[in-house]
Amino acid sequence: MGLKVYNSLSRQLEEFTPQNHGNVSIYSCGPTVYDYIHIGNARTALVTDIIRRYLVYKGYTVKLVQNLTDIDDKIINRAHTLGISASELAHANGLAYFEDTQRLGIQPADVHPKATEHITEMIDLIQILIDKGAAYVVDGSVYYRVNSFSDYGKLSRRKPEDLLAGARVEVDERKEDPRDFDMWKAAKPGEPFWESPWGQGRPGWHIECSSMAMKHLGETIDIHLGGEDLLFPHHENEIAQSELATGVPFARYWVHVAFLKIGGKRMGKSEKNFILLREALDKYPPAVIRHFLVSAHYRHPLDYSLESLQTSESALKRLNNCIDTLEKYSVDIDESKDIKNELTTEDASLVSAIEKMQTDFTQAMDTDFNTAQAVGSIFTLVSTINKSIVATNGVSNHIYTRAYKALIETCEVLGIYSNNEDVHAQTNEYLEPVLDLLLDIRQDARNRKDWDTSDMIRDRLIELNIEIQDTKDGSTWKFIS
RNA sequence: GGUGGCGUCGCCAAGUGGUAAGGCCAGAGUCUGCAAAACUCUUAUCGUCGGUUCAAUUCCGACCGCCACCUCCA
């Protein structure tokens, strides 16, 4: 069964077939680096990351390109306010972007092109469009002549008259048509600029994506990703520029990520109702934030709240407990050995549950990357495993090991599992003998029914964020947060 | 005005033309010296009204409510 992707261009689910067998090219619209990113921005970055991980999981070779818009009006204005140069601001926020996204476990793209490093390519593309009569120069600025592209509006399904009816379009007298947009903006005094055939200026927003996508991925890319707000006009304009210049389709599948909301409203920079990703990361582990973000399908709005994050934290605890328990049972297994004939009924039952999870997971992800459903399949298996462990019905360690591996593998596609062992490894090495000693002393006290002593040890440790867990197999300890 | 989306258990959230995954919370248990932790069990007829159909939450229509894009915003 194959992967199906919802294509914004056709407004329906389509069978996914990359143009080059086994290889997928993806372009994802990246941040404009005038500020830190918020969780809403992170949602799109994370969806990109997961789509890429899943395609790799399915065996594709993926080339992912994500741009950094490092020159635009917002950057210039913010830099001016801060009293630094636009490039300094862009550089700092670019670094912060990578820092934040990598903390969230987002793997860097294969290429992160910057607008200011592709001025030549953009000028070339603009020149092509001028030569084709699709652009015109006014006072050192270059505008795209929307009328010259008959397919204009095919992505957003907007008719020219609809656009003109919108009273919010600012009319620029210099434009032939209100819908025309600038590809090259003449510099005003004091603004950063680059030399061009039309004078000093800077590129427009849409032209960068067109030229950087084509430079790094070719004239036709497989998947073009972005937030749903970019559908119009940004992506519509990218199509207009690119396709008029090349004569071939610009992107084969257009994927748009729905908004993250807060209090029912869109989280946005201009609303000033955003939570910075780094703030969230200071409070919650990456896996928790990821779990929250994948708990809804990417094309559905998701509402941010502290409660939701706490819900994800609790859910993840259940998952981690299961995985940690399985790890204790895990053994080295000989993959090549066929143990089919040696399976007990209980073994076989768990094996089929594992296989069901893998099938369901794949099916969910194959259906337009339905992460919410995929997570569901993982938790269904968790439940089955827990029951099996409680029942102590003689499932072999081999099978528990298989379950362990299957869970790790699928969770890694979503990036919702990370064991804390590494974090605590050093501490553990030092603390373990000491805590074992304390647990021994406590056990002695318990044997003597000296509850004062045993409870004191328990209470004092909890103050140190170390929790004692009494089970029928003895006492263990763990860090709590 | 144009375009698109949403309304499923207390909360979050999948899904299907034939009577609804999963998570959280809550309640009840198991375990325990008591607890905690952990685990188990239990809880929905799908906004309203019509229509199509043997059968609709799932298709169509109307209505109500909410959100978004058309201006920078992932």
Give chain A's domains with CATH numbers. Answer: 4-283 (3.40.50.620), 316-414 (1.10.730), 421-479 (no CATH)
State, as a whole number of angstroms, the distance between the CA of A289 and the C1' of B63: 39
State, as a whole number of angstroms, the distance between the CA of A175 and the C1' of B24: 54
User: For each of chain A's 481 residues, which pLDDT tens digit applies?
Assistant: 699 999 999 999 999 999 999 999 999 999 999 999 999 999 999 999 999 999 999 999 999 999 999 999 999 999 999 999 999 999 999 999 999 999 999 999 999 999 999 999 999 999 999 999 999 999 999 999 999 999 999 999 888 776 655 545 556 778 898 889 999 999 999 999 999 999 999 999 999 999 999 999 999 999 999 999 999 999 999 999 999 999 999 999 999 999 999 999 999 988 889 999 999 999 999 999 999 999 999 999 999 999 999 999 999 999 999 999 999 887 776 665 666 667 888 889 999 999 999 999 999 999 999 999 999 999 999 999 999 988 866 778 899 999 999 999 999 999 999 766 555 666 777 888 899 999 999 999 999 999 999 999 999 999 898 999 998 778 888 888 6
Residue A270 is predicted with a pLDDT of 83
Tell me how far the alpha carbon of residue A213 is from its chain's centroid. 19
Residues of A from 22 to 61 whose C-beta is within 7 A of strand B: which are they? 29, 31-32, 37, 40-41, 43-44
Residue A174 is predicted with a pLDDT of 82
Q: Is A434 exposed, middle or buried (0-12, 13-18, 19+ CB in 10 A)?
A: exposed
Q: Are A406 and A326 in contact (CB under 8 A)?
A: no
State, as a whole number of angstroms, the distance between the CA of A314 and the C1' of B10: 18
State, as a whole number of angstroms, the distance between the CA of A398 and the C1' of B33: 37
Within 13 A of A480's CA, how many CA atoms are on the CB side? 12
Placement of tokens 């337009």 in the chain:
A368
Residues of A from 318 to 357 whose C-beta is within 7 A of strand B: which are they? 318, 321-322
Question: Beta carbon of A458 within 7 Å of strand B?
Answer: yes
State, as a whole number of angstroms, the distance between the CA of A147 and the C1' of B48: 45
Minimum-distance nucleotide, CA of A299 to C1': B5
Question: How, if at all, do strands A251-257 and A221-227 pair?
Answer: parallel
Question: Beta carbon of A375 within 7 Å of strand B?
Answer: yes
User: Taking Cα atoms as reference points, which of A9, A244, A294 lies closest to residue A130?
Assistant: A244
ipTM of the complex, rounded to two decimals: 0.95
State, as a whole number of angstroms, the distance between the CA of A396 and the C1' of B8: 40
Tokens describing residue A166:
């919108």
SS (H, E, C) chain A: CCCEEEECCCCEEEECCCCECCEEEEEECCCECCCCCEHHHHHHHHHHHHHHHHHHHCCCEEEEEECEECCCHHHHHHHHHHCCCHHHHHHHHHHHHHHHHHHCCCCCCCECCEHHHCHHHHHHHHHHHHHCCCEEEECCEEEECHHHCCCCCCCCCCCHHHHHHCCCCCCCCCCCCCCCEEEEEECCCCCCCECCCCCCEEECHHHHHHHHHHHHHCCCEEEEEEEHHHHHHHHHHHHHHHHHHHCCCCEEEEEEECCEEECCEECCCCCCCCCEHHHHHHHCCHHHHHHHHHCCCCCCCEEECHHHHHHHHHHHHHHHHHHHHHHHHCCCCCCCCCCHHHCCHHHHHHHHHHHHHHHHHHHHHHECCCHHHHHHHHHHHHHHHHHHHHHCCCCCHHHHHHHHHHHHHHHHHHCCCCCCHHHHHHHHHHHHHHHHHHHHHHHHHHHCCCHHHHHHHHHHHHHCCEEEEEECCEEEEEECC
- Nearest residue to B22 via alpha carbon and C1': A376
State, as a whole number of angstroms, the distance between the CA of A289 and the C1' of B21: 22
Give dist(CA A296, CA A277) in Å, integer: 18
